[in-house]
Amino acid sequence: MNNSFSESYKAAGVDVTAGYKAVDLMKAHIARTVTSGVVSSIGGFGGCFALPQGMEEPVLVSGTDGCGTKVKLAILMDKHDTIGIDAVAMCVNDIICCGAKPLFFLDYIACGKNIPEKIAAIVSGVAEGCVQSGAALIGGETAEHPGLMPVEDYDLAGFAVGIVDKKDIIDNTKMEAGNVVIALSSTGIHSNGFSLCRKVFDIDNNNPDLYVAKEELGGKTIAETLLTPTRIYVKSVLALIEKVAVKGISHITGGGFYENIPRSIPDGLGAKINISDVRVLPIFDLIAKTGNIPERDMFNTFNMGVGMSVVVAKEDVDTALEILRANGEDAYVLGEIIESDEKCVLI
């Protein structure tokens, strides 16, 4: 590289050598995610992945997402090794709703200044999310944006691709009244609703109360609780659909129950859920109390302790719960499918 160019670019706010160092620091994390389909190494212009064999009609399923303003809290806490798990989770939890097995993941980090150790910490979380979901991290991009972003700020987004045999795509047209809705518990806020959380807890002003242990949160601080990584449901759901005919899956993200549960339910049917049966996590009670937020608004914004829901036939409930629990999920019956013009009925 021309040294004068490198120094000129650095003077403009972009440190090329920092980028090289960040890549070197990432390599050990990326190596953890390598699967049999990976046919290229990090550093090329494109990531190559060989499709698995044996499917009649393989269908690729893609998903892209970010972590929203949860990144703001990671920056305030100067803790960057878990936000990458959230980025992966938001993508792979979406594509599993089709029944697709994640194949690979790519990340994109935009930052005000490339601090190699910080970037590597972010990627370590991405790698952990990939390991949890069985996806290979085959590429990514770190873009330094001086003048556009403050030097300490960054944003993180990702893109996942999965595969499913066409005949095995989750088909909600087979759903019928009398089917049962099963909840898979969340680990907390996950990655949605943080704009409201920031307002309720005055996060943008680095409220010192964020870092005080709370009895109602089991001795954890608000900040620690909010930064808890999004749970990745891929392996448990894949285990479930191997043994049970799943009729619908919803990833409970932004919009809470009212927007996400209907996405997996066909017209003419609805999920009837008793609010008293929802195992609401303490952080949501604290948000509602602190912000004086009505119950409907809470269920229309947050996951309320349910990160994913699946619909199965009544006769398959016990088997489904057994499989999910054996794979580490806190799973329980949430409600039932009824004939309804309203797709999510909370009573």
Whether residue 151 sits in one domain with residue 229 = no
Structural domain that includes position 294: 172-346
Task: Give the E-state strand segments of 214-305 in sequence order.
Answer: 248-251, 269-273
Structure confidence at residue 7 as a pLDDT band (50, 70, 90): low
Question: How large is the average pLDDT for residues 129-142?
Answer: 95
pLDDT surpassing 50 at residue 240:
yes
The CATH number linked to 295 is 3.90.650.10
Helix (H, G, I), strand (E, B) or coil at 281: coil
Whether residue 15 sits in one domain with residue 161 = yes
pLDDT surpassing 80 at residue 206:
yes
Whether residue 294 sits in one domain with residue 238 = yes
- What burial letters (b/e) apply to 68-95, b meaning 16+ CB within 10 Å? bbbbbbbbbbeebbbbbbbbbbbbbbbb
Number of domains comprising the chain = 2
Give the other-Cβ count within 10 Å of 266's Cβ.
Answer: 17
The CATH number linked to 54 is 3.30.1330.10
pLDDT surpassing 90 at residue 12:
no
Domain boundary among 118, 139, 168: 168
Whether residue 140 sits in one domain with residue 37 = yes
